[in-house]
Amino acid sequence: MKRGGSIWEAVSKDKTAETSEEEKYYKKMDSTYGPQEAYKRVESLHEKILDEARRAFIGQDDVVEQILVAIFTNNHALLEGFPGLGKTLLVKTLSDVMDLKFRRIQCTPDLMPSDITGTYIIEEDASRRKSFRFEPGPVFTNVLLADEINRATPKSQSALLEAMQEKQVTIGTTTYKLEEPFFVLATQNPIEMEGTYPLPEAQVDRFLLKILIGYPNEKDEDRIVQLYTSGSLPPVRKILSAHEIKAMQELTRKMPIADEIRKYALKIVTTTRPVDGGAAHRYLEYGASPRASIGLVLAAKARALLRGRNYVSKEDIKTMAFPVLRHRLILNFESERKGITPDDVIEEILKAV
């Protein structure tokens, strides 16, 4: 099916032929895979990834799309939702669909930084000669799930900062590069208060998006119950590869954006800073930084690409403003007292801009 405004051709084939072609495609794929090949497949990739994700994670396609936006922009995402909504399952499923190495860290108060990054161990050979060998931690992967990240201590949380920002890990005097692509997808429980360590603003700002996962509707929940109470789960197919993801990331940055749309994104971000009157002055203590401006433009580009367009629209900016900004706005005391949320403030700012 062809979307409006697309510059890519949608080729329809029967399922048997399509599977056969995909097998041939992945056999031929190598490190020379580039943005031109990505253009040819980008429109169908979105739907195929959604179809595979639905095999295990039913409903909430917007959540899947937002995670893909973070991945295509080579950034990280923070997933927040109540227990039992499938956050961990979703991340594991998407890593399988993208054929990427996956590791999971279960964050607890006794988690040490070396449990994340790795450490040196002493080895003894046959001649009783001892030497140090570096044993890599779970951070040496493609997709790292930091489950319940707010239950880890600040010292352990900070062990992820260098990996997230520089894509490297320093142990002692040696720096180790991480394999690309590399993404941190962290989850946290909004109702967990005892024994938690809220992420500091500087670390939260490293996440491009904060994605909220809500309850499924009754129809989707009925399908979930049927799926998980009758037999084994259907396996997911591998749709993407590491080479293709890198090409998509390059393609995202090359997506053109009109000056008017870029300035519209900048206006939204600067309006969150409570220096003058308006919603920001009434509700916020601190607004978003220039990193948010960069993130909003990149996220809108990735969304446009996933939607099969070769341009960024105002709708892309408006939609991505919520996950890009909600964790970067610091509410003042009066807003917290009245129960106003960052999304409420973003909504009012969008109306004013």
Confidence grade of residue 192 (pLDDT, cut at 50, 70, 90): low
Name the DSSP class of 191.
T
DSSP codes joined into one string, 113-148:
HHHHHEEEEEEE-TT--EEEEEEE-TTSSSEEEEET
pLDDT grade for 325, boundaries at 50, 70 and 90: very high
SS3 311: coil
Query: CATH number of 255-353: 3.30.70.260, 3.10.580.10, 1.10.240.10, 1.10.8.80?
Result: 1.10.8.80
**Smallest Cα–Cα separation from 343: which of 256, 277, 284, 263?**
284
8 Å CB contact between 92 and 102: yes
Give the tokens for residue 82: 């109540």
- Please report which confidence band the pLDDT of residue 216 belongs to, taking 50, 70 and 90 as the band edges: confident
> 131-160: per-residue pLDDT in tens?
888 888 999 999 999 999 888 888 888 888
Proportion of the chain above pLDDT 90, given as a percent: 31
Q: What is the pLDDT of residue 328?
A: 92
Average model confidence (pLDDT) across the chain: 83
For the segment 271-283, the average pLDDT, to the nearest whole number, is 84
Tell me which residue of 336, 328, 350, 337 sits closest to 278, measured CA to CA: 350
Alpha-carbon distance 74 to 183, whole Å?
7
Q: Is 86 left (phi over 0), alpha (psi -120 to 50) or beta?
A: left
For the chain, counts of helices (H) and of strands (E): 16, 11
Residue 13: pLDDT band (50, 70, 90) is: very low
How much is the CA Rg of the chain, to the nearest whole Å? 22
CATH class of 31-254: alpha beta
- What is the rounded distance in angstroms from the CA atom of residue 226 to the CA atom of residue 249? 37
**Which residues are paired to 211 by β-bridges?**
79
Which of 5-9, 21-25, 32-36, 193-197 is predicted most confidently? Answer: 193-197
- Within 8 A by CB and 6+ apart from 29, the residues are 241, 243, 244
Return the domain boundaries, the chain.
Answer: 31-254, 255-353
The whole-number pLDDT of residue 33 equals: 54
Name the residue with tokens 């909003």: 296
The predicted-structure confidence for 48-101, as pLDDT tens digits, reads as follows 888 888 888 888 888 989 999 999 999 999 999 888 888 888 888 888 888 888
Q: Is 47 exposed, middle or buried (0-12, 13-18, 19+ CB in 10 A)?
A: middle
Q: Check if 31-254 and 255-353 are the same fold.
A: no
pLDDT at 128: 81
The pairing of beta strand 118-124 with beta strand 168-171: unpaired
